Amino acid sequence: MKKVLFSGSGCAVVTPFTKDGKINFDKLAQLVEFQIANKTDAIIACGTTGEASIMTDDEHTAVVEFIVKQTAKRIPVIAGTGSNSTHHAVELTQKAEKAGADGILAVVPYYNKTSQKGLYEHFTAIAKSVKIPVILYNVPSRTNYNINPQTICKLASDNSNIVGVKECNLYQAGDVVNLCGKDFSVYSGDDNIILPIMSMGGKGIISVMANIIPEDTHLMTSEFLSGNLKAAIALQLKTLDLISALFCEPSPMPIKAAMNLMGMDVGPCRLPLVDVEKSTLDRLRDELIKYGLLDSRQRIAC
């Protein structure tokens, strides 16, 4: 039986930076406590939302170590350790295991454009390098390549610690569930398709919007898992306009802008990511007000 790292909402937490571009660990501690206090089921450290690809390896490991210590086993910590270099991904994965991560998230290697056989060998090398669980991450819009359901199934069958996939390809989510069985965890990789993927057997979401609405994101998944479909659907529909705003420019630029508008002071993104356009900032402000995350008076104050 495959280990289930979590069911429900996992927050792909942002990495807060100071104005001079250093990691703001004091703020990171606050973000972790905010997530735990608002019922998030797991924290994903150093994912895409955490800007891991533009951190040094030392920074990457330091963030994982810090979040592991801050959570103190209250909820699982899953470390993003993906790379387009298998050797590099293995190194990051082993460092995450040593840091105490409960599992790792490994993205489909980007730019190199390998074959399905290459994907199998890449993820097998990662899985065999550690004892902790591995979640695959399939995001064709960023990697320009899709890991096929049959490849996912073979990986899960041949590697006992490959336990799930963060799936952004809605059209194959059901095939993955059918092929891999109920013990294999499928998580939505996009906030706007949480319920469609869960309706086909998915166990939850690895979420961007949970950075600002952790309790609603958790509640949506828990209501669905409890069989309260009406409440879950209402929450998914309620979030759609906010989600659209959070992804109107490349993530994590809008989520950081939204958090800063809310006074969470997570700082800027690192280049090549930049501040969002004024039109996006205005749109985010309007959606935050509409959702009840900002007072309407802040429309002028901001």
In DSSP terms, 185 is beta-bridged to 164
Residues with Cβ within 8 Å of 87's Cβ and at least 6 positions away in sequence, in order, are none
How many CB atoms are closer than 10 A to CB 153? Answer: 17
Query: Which residue's structure tokens are 């469609």?
Result: 196
Q: Which of the following is catalytic: 95, 154, 166, 203?
A: 166
Q: Are 99 and 71 in contact (CB under 8 A)?
A: no
Q: Which of the following is catalytic: 137, 145, 187, 291?
A: 137
How many CB atoms are closer than 10 A to CB 257? Answer: 24
Query: Which residue's structure tokens are 């828990």?
Result: 222
Q: Is 166 a catalytic residue?
A: yes
Q: Is 120 a catalytic residue?
A: no
| 103 phi/psi in degrees, rounded to 5 | -170, 175
Whole-number Å distance between alpha carbons of 293 and 302 = 14
Which residues are known catalytic residues? 137, 166
